[in-house]
Structure 1
Amino acid sequence: MPGASFIIASQTSPNLEFLSGVQLEVLGFLKPQRDAFFSNFFPDPVTAKNALLHFETTLGFYDFSKSPQFCYTVCSAYNFLINSGTKLPMTLTQLFVHILVYLIDKITQKDKMINIVRALGNLASHCALNSQSNVQRDTLDEFGLLSEFPLSDFLCVYGESDKAIYSWRSPLMQEFILAVSVLLGLSLHSVEEILEKHKKHTHFLDIFMSGLCEQVHWRPLEETLGPCSANKIFAFKNWLKTLCEKTLPGNNKEDHCRCFHLLYQMQNEKVVKEVITPSARLGLSYGNLKLLDYVVLNYVVRQLGEMEQINLYNTSLLTEEMAEILAPTMAVSCKFILSQCSFEDGAVTHVASALSKGIATSLDLSYSCLNKKQLQSLCTGLKNCKVESLQFSRGKLTEASCEEFVPALTSTTSQLSVLNLCANQIGDMGLKKLCEALQNPHNKVQGLNLQHCTLTAASMEDLSTALSSGHSKLININLSNNEIGDTGVKPLSKGVQHPFCKLESLRLFDCYLTEACCPLLAEALMSKHCSLREIDLSVNELGHEGAMVLCKALKRPGCPMEKLSLARCELTEAVFVELASLLKSGSPPLKSLSVACNDVGDQGVHHLWEAIRHPSCELEKLDVEMTGLTDACVNDMCAAIKASKTMRKLKIHNNLLTDVSVPTLIRVMQESPNMEKLNVQYNDFGEEMFELFETCPKIRY
């Protein structure tokens, strides 16, 4: 290409301004170049590896990608510290303190050092506020940087004499010098004014000020520069505390991380505990942060000693390095949220190790897909840990995956009591393997969610055997959205009647049931050994006959049923009459009833309103969504609410109520202290009614 030219540079240069038609692109190091640089700088491979890891995890990249010179500076500082047997700096501030001490030692005019720092600090502020990377000689003179001051270690010089142009060797050094000058008390402005003034123009000023506030970090500079201003330090710490109090209850993880970085630079456990109060929110997701962000998060949590949860939701790839850094945080967290994450194999190993060593009682891996090796590593950790609840819905688990869980479920040291495998393709063979574990005397599983797990009647016999084994601890099981059918209900009913069965909650929502299974269920409900307190048979074709059989079974003296769900079961008004009779009798002691999506209209639901008014009725929650209610039912409904001493929550959404009923609904909710929530969504209300609903927070509209 005739006439074409290109320039490769490590940083921008004002000497290129006179060239026209030249495109300059500054490229920094990618990972391979960083590895190569450190390997070439340090002859010992182990030293090179450790130095690079320390740089990436402790200091971060910062302007490394802009200036390879910064890499050289860091390596030189590391080399000096390693050779002298000094511990490598933990923070960016500590590194720049070492660098500044080195530069000061080269200056012969120690008595003028305060003047040099004051002048450089003023210049740094001027360049930042005016977005200037280059200045001329007269600007230096204006800020008192006399020609006899040694500036070459701080500023690059382009050109000669009066036409020379100066620029900072490192933007980081520019901001570090500004922070030093502020904390020395060389500025007339307050700390708050300086930080606010430079907020949009600097990236690390507050970071450096936070680190320099601690005497232990400042001490190497004290011999030449003297002590920091006590007033400035006090003002900065107050500013930091106020910032954290405002930021941490919010939802912006970038803002959270900024606070963590400031606390990390300070390295003061007492300040961390003062700033991260119990009211501070650390519950949002910290997924997809940079490596250094995890370093500072880990530091903060370790200073606190214990954390309610560590949330890494939606992390695109949790690497082995990240997991290793976060392992101490995981070990002191009561709950891990790793849902919708992907992992490197080594990362899962660190998670498993943290589980074994830590205090976590809950692990959420929903929507996270683990390969066989990763699942084996996880289950190894689950065998000997405090985790009681494992959420693993939609994790693409299979029949083979269930085999991996068996050792964890049957371990003498496992505490796992809640297992959620919802929406996984484990099938009947997978459930059979789990049932083998449930019969083991060491298993502690009390809750099992197998919703949407492609189960059929073929595995119900195995489940029934497990329930009757005498070793099963199962209290609740969710089999919803599986094609179990009436055939599968038969062995289940036998299991529920067994004296050894401890089941209290059985959910069979949308399981292809018909009225043919109701006599079997009724037999179970009438058994003196049946301990069911909750049964969900919603979205099944039970019909009038099937529901009537169930209602009669529920009248058994001593029946413990408290929660009954019969939504969309083709119920009739006669069934509502029977349900009302149950409520009036107080036996069973029903506290929650769902009869949604059964179109019986005002006349059918009227029987329930009458029952709720009865003094023996103990109902607390009622769902009558899509039952065909109109304004005609509102007076009866409100009379029931007023009369009831137990009713707390009522759902009447998706019905035919209009604006006429709104004032009455608002009034009854305002006058009924027991009522906590009334859901009236998706009725035929006009938008002008929404303002009225806003006057009553207990109504959801």
Structure 2
Amino acid sequence: MNDQKLSLMDLLHKYFKETQDLRIPTWHKALFIFDGFDECRLDLDFQSRVNLCDVTESASVEVLLTNLIKGNLLPSALIWLTSRPAAADQIPSEFVDRMTEIRGFTDPQKEEYFRKRIHDQSLSNRIISHLKASRSLFIMCHIPVFCWISGTVLERMLGEAESGEIPKTLTQMYTLFLIIQTKRKKEKFPKNQKTDEDMLLWGQLGQLAFQQLMKGNLIFYKKDLKECGIDVEEASVYSGVCTQIFREESGLLQSKVYCFVHLSVQEHLAALYVHLTYMNQKRNVLKKSSKVGIPMRKEMTISDVHKSAVDQALQSKNGHLDLFLRFLLGLSLESIQNLLQDLVSQKGSVSHNNKETVQYIKRKIRENSSTEKSINLFHCLNELDDHSLVEDIQQYLQSGDLQSNKFSATQWSAVVFVLLTSSQAVDVFDLSKYTKSHHRSDEVLLKLMPVVAASRKAQLYSCNLKKKSCTTLASVIISESSSLREVDLSENDLGDSGVKLLSVGLENPLCKLQILKLQCCNITGAGCAALASALKSNPSHLKELVLSANNLGDSGVKMLSAGLENPLCKLETLKLQYCKITTIGCAALTSALKSNLSHLRELDLSRNKLRDSGVRLLSAVLENHLCKMETLSLQECNISDEGCAALASALKSNSSHLRKLDLTWNELGDAGLKLLSAVNAHTDYECEILL
């Protein structure tokens, strides 16, 4: 429909005829679901100034969809998109209200998968042990499809059905997977074995995979198959031969579309096509000018093809060629060449060793400023069976000399790679392990950010970090691939400017941080205003906020309360110890809590001058049947018997959920102590009261 112009109403009525009688106001209540939005081939330009607001005005499909998503068309309608992570950034973040990430398998779930899939527990244990020994493979197992592929291969290789080298790299695993699928076809159809047809099939599918990968396409149409010599009428036969590789699906109005079972399978076949085109035709299809008949100044080598692939992968902004590059390099190993003989037709052999390619990759690691890109290049070296840089760094890590060495950019990239692929997954990142020189902490943190992003918790306590680290952390916590859920920045002189920079990430809908500790960070009211803004913009994830020992004052607490009163705010723990809060600040806080009572479980206001007047305000909150608070800390808050009376009354009410009350270091008299001591006798629950 690329060349057609029609209105949004015409588009909907054309494909959903049952909606033709619906009036336009009804559509404002509609929910539009774009399932598999990453498969959309339309060029959606969200920077375009073409604003379309009339649902009866005609325009191209691209303009209609762009304006629908931006909210110009049917602004009250809801839109739900599903997309693979690599393509999720098609929609600018300002148009995203909420994002839900379906994550892959955790390490325990990886093991659970193999134990459930393979009933022979001895065999499943051997498979799990092998994958754990090859850390790069075990990391990839977070993708369920890779678990299925590796299970298919290793079940056969480690069982009695096959013999040969057990795969230790991605390329070996996927190549063996193709071979196993071919053998299964021969076992299933023993009378119809046509090896030449199988080899032709892999060549055609490889060409399709490569051409569409370069265009960023994940689904294909009939014309795409025809361009690669695939008979459309026999497409079902092709998919029937290799249902584990290529499949046919029904699209809108039952039109046929085609895809590989997973993007990684497409990337592997694309790499196989590039490799075979060089081997059989001495062509580098990665260079557009590379055509038969064009004279060359020198004989092309496989290294020339590799260099072209490295350069293009480094230029890719979204990393869509990273895995393709790893496969292409791995295919040049002699062990893979031996495997390919049973799969495809290949002229000659690769007598070339990969020394030139290895040196080129190492040079690119030195030149490249992006740690993420460097990490993939280290994975490439692993596919080429070169571990020299990594082995040097492993010695440093084992000897404990890392802190005393000032590494080059290449060595820092190697450190990151080793930490990310070590047998011990990094669950808690502790910056103090990697730097003794506090004046270099910001620099070291920047180098190790990929490790921080892969960790669940970042322990950055008392590391002399400055505000520039906040900018980097903000970018990490909004990354789709980030595992970071807890950050402790306590006792760093971040100031309000640092908190403002960090809040830019916190307010992004993509941020999933759950715990943030900013104790003793020189924060005042201005920093609280930034945090409040973040809580308003992205209230659904943060569960614990620690701001103790900061100069917030009543004004700061008032600003923070503006975010807490958001009904969508799900903060469960709030710690405001020693923040110079008085009754005035307590009034603002309790007002916010009354507006949003259902989530907060723990509140620490110790060492603030709340006095009895502030405690009375808190007691009124505790009496509310919606209040779910379980722990309240009021150490050293200038509370006397009058405040105790208010608390005792609240605790005796049937609505109170409080299980722990800390009143140590206050001015309590005998009357107050007596009232509190009698609390548990009048309630159906036990409240621990510290006096």
Normalised by the length of structure 2, the TM-score is 0.40
Normalised by the length of structure 1, the TM-score is 0.40
Q: Which has the higher contact order (CA 8 A, sep 6+)?
A: 2
